Amino acid sequence: MAGPDVFFIPGTLMPPSCFDGVAVPTGASGATVDWMAEVRPCGMDAVVRHVLGRAAERGPAVLVGHSTGGAIAALAALRRPDLVAGLVLINSGPNMVGHGAVAGMLERLTGPTDDAMWEEFARANVPGGSPGEWIDAMVDYGRRIGGAQAAAILADQAAIDLLDTPPRTGLPVEVLHGALDAKRTIGDAKAWAHVFPDAHLEVLADCGHTPPLERPQAVASALGRLARRIRTARA
């Protein structure tokens, strides 16, 4: 039996190519949802509906969300549990109470933007010395998407606290967190267990905010663990 479709959901201002190095389990198909380009205006409700529309195409899907994409994936699973077979949540959290950068980002995104700002944002996503093509791809994507889209989704995300929702039991969830992340804490990652009691957390040493770029094999391994958990649940 083929595995469920896998949909990758990037973080705010992260190009779809950030997931190019992540392999999906044997028998599954994978696709990245370019939600910042595909949904305008860019609000959480509209993006969640868009993702659920993709998941509905061939039945329950696995959602892999990075940063803001993690919140989108989690909301999708809570709103339509029949369409989500499992989650991988990467360097995210159920709210933005402790987010280390959102206030400053919102202030800057609502004003004039230039390549220097996009580069600053890009470099905050990855460790120093990361490949220049990662930075170039993020700068190009930010330039194409624009500040208004990013500000809209971040403001919406900041207003949501999934810790206020009843926990969703029985859903297989893998949580990954880069230990060197300056934006999100390990506490944010651990908090997912209050929303999804069956969440399993793995902390990645020597990894920052963006494991899909920095540690794609670790993301693929999390997908493999999730696939096995889904098969066991179905047996």
Is 106 in contact with 227 (CB distance < 8 Å)?
Answer: no
pLDDT tens digits for range 80-108: 999 999 999 999 999 988 665 677 788 88
Q: Cis omega (within 30 of 0) on the bond before 41?
A: yes
Q: Can you read off the two tokens belonging to residue 228? A: 């096995």
Q: Give the pLDDT score at 98.
A: 66
CA angle 68, 47, 44 (to 5 degrees): 60
Q: Give the pLDDT score at 100.
A: 58
DSSP state of 196: -
Q: Give the pLDDT score at 99.
A: 65
Low-confidence ranges of the chain (pLDDT < 50): 1
